[in-house]
Structure 1
Amino acid sequence: MKNALLMVLAFVVFSSCSNDKKSESISVDTPEQNEADIVAYIAANDLDAIRSESGLYYVIDELGEGTQPNASSDVTVAYKGYFLDGSVFDQSDASGLTFPLSGVIAGWTEGIAYFKEGGSGMLLIPAQLGYGTSGRGSIPGGSVLLFDINLIEVK
């Protein structure tokens, strides 16, 4: 009887923990919550951000003067990727990385195209334009992603 009671108690505790994680993940993943979190971040950091129709926010510090990329361009970008709490999840060196805009997350494909060569600024990317509900590697599902970017070259 004592063992059965312990098993039931363990099941209840485990189930409630699992449900808490599940509901926490769902609330973080909603587009409305991502939007509210981005708007709060913009206000707290006094950013002059523009919202696109897709829900991407971007800040242009320097537009640049060179070629402006499109979704099929190859680009070289120096960047730092971080979460709303400031913790960095990825970063290039100053020489940047070269990649096709058609092969990256939707927030980058759209956002990098707002700059010209030599331009710099920030992308504030909601989960639906990043890694969605699945996440990737060290990036949890539902995460808002922030990127400081410097568009070095359009090829």
Structure 2
Amino acid sequence: MLKKILPVFIVVLIASCGDDDDSNLEIVPPRLLADQIIEDDAAIQEYLATHFYELQTDPVFGGQRVVIDTIAGDNAGKDPMINDANLGTKVVNVSSNQVNLVEEENDIPHTLYYIIAREGEGISPTVADSTLLKYEGYLLNRTKFDAVSDFVWQELPNFLRGYANGIAELTSGTSEGLVQNGDGTSYYNDSGIGIIIMPSGLGYFLASPSTAIPSYSPLVFTVEVGNIIENTDTDNDGVPSILEDLNGNGYLFDDNTDSESELSAGVFARADFQDTDDDDDGIPTRTEISDAEGNIIFPYPGSENGGVPDYLNPDVQRDPNDN
């Protein structure tokens, strides 16, 4: 299964050398994001120029799936993906702290490539939504490292940034397009199907979770989006997770309004989309944005005329039941 992103610290690589019993250890620092993206983008451009894709009928579940192959031999006349009219790009800025690197680099542009092989008839998820999908993951040399054969739910913030940003460019299927097979399996005849090609800075970079994925590997995913929980609220605090991306950079883990108080208390710091009390004032976020009957008030109390919402202001403990 595609590994969730966990808060880990990347250690340097250590290589031993020498011909005698005394080992000399060479400390190899991680590569810089700005250097690696140049190498990754060149490799991705070559991949797009030497590979093609086709939509084929899934022999097991029905419906359609993307198949990628090399332009060679019997396929020598195929059109490369780099010329596909449905090829799009998206620039995502990556900073070193987001991939747990010590050397400071800020907002290094990373180009994500995606192809919409089939437009879905539903809606597009955000990078913060829970999404029902199928996927297959490959290296640029076409080695498959991961796949799911049937639809699974995934909360996109917990997975690779390139993966989430690419899926956000697709559209889902609809309930009317869901086809139930007689054997208990199912498929969508109107789902969004696409390809995502990402540089390593939007993937695992140095922190590969598996020996099947070398460090600094660009990744390719074929994806089918079946359904979406629109405006997913991960912590059920009444604020959709996408609205808890306060700086709007599509990375929800660096938005933590009460990080200082959490660290001072010696508790695990939780990003706002995972925290039921975003300002750590003792009043749950949901309470501070609701009326006495429990209905969510929008715009959120305190945010009128550009003010700080009560649920993000530790100096305001709003409890509608006390009013």
Which protein shows a greater Rg?
Answer: 2
Distance in 1 of aligned mates of 2:135 and 2:155: 15
Does the 8 Å CA contact 1:134/1:140 hold for their aligned counterparts? no
Does the 8 Å CA contact 1:82/1:146 hold for their aligned counterparts? yes
Question: Which one of 209, 228, 231 corresponds to residue 154 of structure 1?
Answer: 228
Q: Flag structure 1 segments of 5+ consecutive residues without an equivalent.
A: 1-7
Q: Which amino acid aligns with 2:90?
A: S
Correspondence 1:141 to 2:215: yes
Q: Which amino acid aligns with 1:76?
A: L
Deviation at 1:134, TM superposition (A): 1.9
Q: Flag structure 2 segments of 5+ consecutive residues without an equivalent.
A: 1-16, 52-79, 93-110, 173-190, 230-323
The C-alpha deviation readout for 1:105-126, integer Å capped at 9, x for no partner, is 1011111010111100100011
Corresponding residue of 2:134:
78
Q: Percent identity?
A: 26
Secondary structure of the structure 2 residue equivalent to 1:10: coil
> Using CA pairs below 8 Å that are at least 6 residues apart, which structure has the higher relative contact order?
1
Secondary structure of the structure 2 residue equivalent to 1:135: coil
Q: Which amino acid aligns with 2:217?
A: S
Deviation at 1:83, TM superposition (A): 0.3
Secondary structure of the structure 2 residue equivalent to 1:58: strand
Deviation at 1:77, TM superposition (A): 1.2
Correspondence 1:39 to 2:77: no
Does the 8 Å CA contact 1:81/1:90 hold for their aligned counterparts? yes
Question: Which one of 107, 111, 130 corresponds to residue 162 of structure 2?
Answer: 107
Does the 8 Å CA contact 1:62/1:121 hold for their aligned counterparts? yes
Does the 8 Å CA contact 1:79/1:148 hold for their aligned counterparts? yes
Corresponding residue of 1:10:
19
Larger proportion of helix: 1
Does the 8 Å CA contact 1:34/1:127 hold for their aligned counterparts? yes
Question: Which one of 115, 118, 121 corresponds to residue 59 of structure 1?
Answer: 115
The C-alpha deviation readout for 1:72-107, integer Å capped at 9, x for no partner, is 2110111110101111000001x2221111111101
Question: Which one of 84, 88, 91 corresponds to residue 50 of structure 1?
Answer: 88
Secondary structure of the structure 2 residue equivalent to 1:40: helix
Distance in 2 of aligned mates of 1:121 and 1:128: 21
CA pair 149-10 structure 1, distance change in 2 beyond 3 A: same
Deviation at 1:51, TM superposition (A): 1.8
The C-alpha deviation readout for 1:119-138, integer Å capped at 9, x for no partner, is 00100011110111222223
CA pair 9-148 structure 1, distance change in 2 beyond 3 A: closer
Distance in 1 of aligned mates of 2:203 and 2:193: 20
Q: Which amino acid aligns with 2:115?
A: V
Distance in 1 of aligned mates of 2:136 and 2:210: 16
Correspondence 1:131 to 2:204: yes
What TM-score, normalized to structure 2?
Answer: 0.40
What TM-score, normalized to structure 1?
Answer: 0.80
